[in-house]
């Protein structure tokens, strides 16, 4: 085992004997390297590869880690279990969830399913759903579940309507999920925990299976995830966790920085190693990043020591509009490509997914190779959702949410009135929706024509399910879409032939992914596992496949990655830091950590941009520079103002740093101070 490429701290972390170990690793200090080497070292010490479990936060990180392990440790690494919390939870659930009353093949409800379900329940509970944002109800339910508390209807907190509504809907929500044989994302952690509690033999089995645990990005774990780790670790307590409190960016999802800061308390006797030498970033990048993060009050102060020769300074550029911003970034990408920097060594990062569009347009216009990572747009297209709903219905007869979605898509004469009667009948008779459909003729008050259409639909579904048992599922899916005239309907429904084409291409993408899975899984491919995989691990193919492209992604998605050149766009108030949801104060410290994560992705060059105006709801709105820019160290940053000259308006109460920026702008040429 060659440890010569590690520094003393890294070596200590890698070779610390078994037992609880906390590695506090600053950005770029070789965190992943330490985990990978430690695993290799454990194997060299005689650990069985299949007894080692490494947990990461995202699938991207898991794949990356696995690849590095294969390079370092060779064949044995194939047996290692590298997984995300949720994928691991799904695996535990898959084996034993039936003990808690779920069907053996349960489905994972994704965000869209949750939303539809909650909407339906809100209506059923007859809370006036108009005034309520179902998404916030979903969020409130999730928050309460992860806090380990059922949402309380008797709101002690009168202030929060959503908490009250969530409390009211929650029991129905849980019941409905289970009735559909489904679990949500939170359940993928919570239900295994319940299994562990109520069926000790299940826990014992998994403890026997995994002798050694390693967890990356531990600062982003929430309470149930910590419990999960504790449960698996047992008395053996051979747990190594790695993380950086400065990079905790998921507190909105219940992440507890305290999990890492109080690790000692959870695992007494923990050895601790601090990695503070930064191998990744040029000093100017590091200086900017440190300046921004050090304004966070509650953090473990740490100094990242740069280990590289000075590079180019960080650039901060102001442009007139978001279109100009995108163009300027695209030009920058083009220039660097010409200079020989590979496309996949560059990334464009932003706070929100919506910001990718102008960038995509500008890059396309120049014919530059890029890839948007992790965008949700694909799965939000109506056609994609419809097709997936069809497949879900085929896979899971209990999935009523999906059934209701597609029963009249394409329009087949089953309208609201018919559905009302069917659902009322089902409720009265205590029947499932599916059963009711099969015998629609028996439903009173239903026009014979309508009943016939319903039964025809029901027969279609039954026919497809039957074919699924004998034929490859990709083939069945295709023939289903032909049968229902999906393509024609899509074409008819969109004015523009090009748009229809694009939509059908998306659907083709879904089918292709299904067929790829089928080919990979050979004989034992089934629809439910594919769908669950899709929810757990969306877009896996694209992610690893695309090389040689500039990556576009959110700051959250960028965590754990690094690039030679990073463009971070939209450094404006309301965007970074984000304005948060109406009524809810944004967590400024978290936004700051997010900026820090973005900055520290850059190895050689960091380019920050902002636009003086941005289109918002079609209106051009003036923008204020991000407050984080005030903290940039002037001697590590060059400022560039590319807005059109206009009379400077010195607003009162401008922070003093803007005065300094203004000085620089004057010196640099055409000027325009950041507008207030």
Can you tell me which of 130, 469, 520, 524 binds DNA, judged by CB under 7 A? 130
Of 306-314, 468-476, 573-581, 666-674: span binding DNA (CB under 7 A): 573-581
Closest contact distance (angstroms) between CB of 448 and DNA is 12
Q: Using an 8 Å Cβ cutoff, are 270 and 22 in contact?
A: yes
Helix, strand, coil content of the chain in percent (nearest 5):
55, 15, 30
Residues between 233 and 292 with contacts to DNA, criterion CB under 7 A: 249, 252-253
Q: What gap in Å lies between CA 9 and CA 17, rounded to an integer?
A: 14
Q: Which is nearer to DNA, 57 or 639 (by Cβ)?
A: 57
Any idea which residues carry the catalytic annotation? 31-32, 216-217, 247, 601
Q: What gap in Å lies between CA 357 and CA 350, rounded to an integer?
A: 11
Q: Which is nearer to DNA, 339 or 416 (by Cβ)?
A: 416
The three-point CA angle 561-184-389 to 5° equals 95
Handedness of CA 470, 474, 477, 482 (dihedral sign): negative
Measured between alpha carbons, how far is residue 353 from residues 388, 424, 543, 557, 575 in Å? 22, 40, 17, 10, 11
**Token duo for residue 148:** 């380990």
Does the footprint of DNA cover residue 85 (CB under 7 A)? yes
**56-74 CB burial, b ≥16 within 10 A, e <16:** bbbbbbbbbbbebbeebbe
E strand or H helix at 450: helix 448-470
Per-residue mark of binding to DNA, 173-192 (x: CB under 7 A)? ------------x-------
CA proximity to 325, closest of 664, 666, 640: 640
Residues 6+ apart with CB under 8 A from 328: 317, 319, 609, 642
Can you tell me which of 10, 29, 32, 59 binds DNA, judged by CB under 7 A? 59
Of 4-12, 54-62, 258-266, 394-402: span binding DNA (CB under 7 A): 54-62
Q: Which is nearer to DNA, 266 or 539 (by Cβ)?
A: 539
Residues between 643 and 662 with contacts to DNA, criterion CB under 7 A: none
Size of the site for DNA (CB under 7 A): 51
Closest contact distance (angstroms) between CB of 28 and DNA is 21
Measured between alpha carbons, how far is residue 643 from residues 103, 574, 611, 665 in Å? 61, 20, 9, 11
For 419, the 3-state DSSP assignment is: helix
Closest contact distance (angstroms) between CB of 669 and DNA is 32
Closest contact distance (angstroms) between CB of 9 and DNA is 29
Can you tell me which of 24, 137, 473, 536 binds DNA, judged by CB under 7 A? 536
Q: Which is nearer to DNA, 527 or 557 (by Cβ)?
A: 557
Q: Which is nearer to DNA, 9 or 110 (by Cβ)?
A: 110
The residue behind tokens 């992440």 is 255
**Token duo for residue 559:** 């965590």
For 45, the 3-state DSSP assignment is: coil
Residues between 354 and 373 with contacts to DNA, criterion CB under 7 A: 354
Can you tell me which of 411, 522, 545, 667 binds DNA, judged by CB under 7 A? 411
Residues between 436 and 455 with contacts to DNA, criterion CB under 7 A: 450
Can you tell me which of 31, 38, 68, 86 binds DNA, judged by CB under 7 A? 86
Q: Which is nearer to DNA, 193 or 306 (by Cβ)?
A: 193
Q: Using an 8 Å Cβ cutoff, are 483 and 463 in contact?
A: no
Can you tell me which of 353, 475, 664, 675 binds DNA, judged by CB under 7 A? 353
Does the footprint of DNA cover residue 382 (CB under 7 A)? yes
CA proximity to 337, closest of 367, 308, 376: 367
Q: Which is nearer to DNA, 133 or 272 (by Cβ)?
A: 133
Residues that bind DNA (CB under 7 A): 57-60, 84-87, 110-111, 130, 133, 135, 185, 249, 252-253, 351-354, 374, 376, 380, 382, 408, 411-418, 450, 536, 538, 553-554, 556-557, 578, 580-582, 584, 586, 615-618
């Amino acid at each position: 085992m060659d440890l010569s490429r590690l520094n003393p701290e890294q070596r200590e972390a890698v070779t610390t004997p078994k037992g609880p170990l906390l590695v506090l690793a600053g950005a770029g200090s070789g965190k992943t390297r330490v985990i990978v080497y430690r695993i290799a070292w454990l194997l060299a010490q005689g650990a069985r590869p299949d007894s080692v479990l490494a947990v990461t936060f995202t699938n991207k990180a898991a794949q990356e880690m696995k690849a590095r392990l294969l390079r370092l440790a060779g064949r044995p690494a194939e047996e290692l279990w590298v997984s995300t919390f949720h994928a691991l939870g799904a695996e535990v659930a898959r084996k034993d969830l039936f003990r808690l009353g779920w069907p053996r093949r349960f489905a994972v409800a994704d965000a869209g399913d949750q939303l539809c379900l909650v909407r339906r329940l809100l209506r059923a509970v007859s809370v006036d759903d108009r005034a309520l944002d179902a998404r916030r109800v979903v969020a409130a339910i999730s928050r309460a579940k992860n806090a380990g508390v059922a949402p309380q209807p008797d709101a002690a907190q009168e202030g929060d309507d959503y908490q009250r509504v969530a409390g009211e809907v929650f029991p129905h929500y849980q019941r409905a999920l289970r009735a559909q044989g489904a679990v949500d994302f939170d359940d993928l952690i919570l239900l295994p925990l319940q299994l562990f509690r109520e069926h000790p033999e299940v826990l014992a089995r998994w403890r026997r299976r995994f002798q050694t645990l390693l967890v990356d990005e531990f600062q982003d774990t929430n309470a149930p995830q910590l419990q999960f780790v504790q449960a698996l670790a047992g008395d053996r307590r051979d747990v190594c966790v790695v993380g950086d409190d400065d990079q905790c960016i998921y507190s909105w999802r219940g992440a507890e920085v305290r999990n890492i800061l109080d690790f000692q308390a959870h695992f007494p006797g923990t050895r601790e190693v601090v990695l503070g030498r930064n191998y990744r970033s040029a000093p100017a990048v590091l200086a900017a990043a440190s300046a921004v993060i050090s304004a966070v009050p509650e953090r473990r102060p740490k100094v990242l020591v740069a280990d590289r020769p000075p590079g180019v300074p960080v650039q901060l550029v102001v442009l007139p509009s978001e279109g100009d911003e995108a163009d300027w970034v695209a030009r920058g990408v083009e220039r660097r490509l010409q200079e020989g920097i590979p496309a996949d060594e560059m990334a464009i990062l932003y706070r929100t997914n919506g910001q990718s569009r102008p960038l995509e347009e500008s890059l396309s216009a120049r014919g530059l190779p890029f890839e948007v990572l992790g965008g949700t747009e694909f799965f939000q297209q109506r056609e994609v959702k419809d097709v997936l709903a069809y497949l879900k219905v085929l896979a899971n007869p209990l999935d009523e949410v999906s059934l209701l979605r597609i029963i009249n898509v394409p329009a087949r004469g089953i309208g609201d009135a018919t559905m009302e009667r069917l659902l009322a009948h089902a409720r009265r008779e205590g029947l499932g929706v599916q059963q009711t459909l099969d015998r629609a003729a028996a439903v009173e008050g239903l026009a014979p024509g309508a009943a016939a259409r319903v039964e025809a639909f029901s027969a279609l579904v039954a026919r497809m399910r039957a074919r699924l048992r004998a034929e490859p599922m990709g083939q069945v899916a295709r023939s289903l879409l032909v049968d229902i005239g999906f393509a024609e309907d899509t074409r008819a429904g969109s004015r523009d032939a090009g748009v229809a084409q694009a939509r059908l291409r998306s659907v083709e993408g879904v089918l292709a992914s299904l067929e790829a899975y089928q080919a990979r899984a050979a004989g034992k491919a089934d629809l439910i596992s594919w769908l669950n995989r899709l929810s757990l691990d969306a877009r896996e193919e694209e992610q690893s496949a695309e090389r040689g492209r500039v990556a576009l992604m959110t700051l959250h998605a960028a965590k754990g990655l690094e690039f030679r050149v990073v463009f971070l766009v939209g450094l404006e108030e309301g965007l970074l830091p984000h304005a948060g949801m109406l009524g809810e104060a944004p967590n400024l410290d978290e936004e700051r950590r997010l900026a820090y994560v973005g900055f520290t992705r850059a190895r050689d060059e960091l380019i920050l941009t902002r636009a003086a105006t941005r289109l918002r709801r079609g209106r051009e709105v003036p923008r204020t520079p991000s407050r984080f820019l005030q903290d940039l160290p002037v001697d590590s940053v060059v400022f560039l103002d590319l807005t059109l000259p206009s009379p400077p308006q010195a607003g009162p109460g401008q922070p003093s740093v803007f005065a300094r920026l203004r000085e620089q702008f004057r010196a640099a040429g055409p000027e325009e101070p950041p507008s207030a």
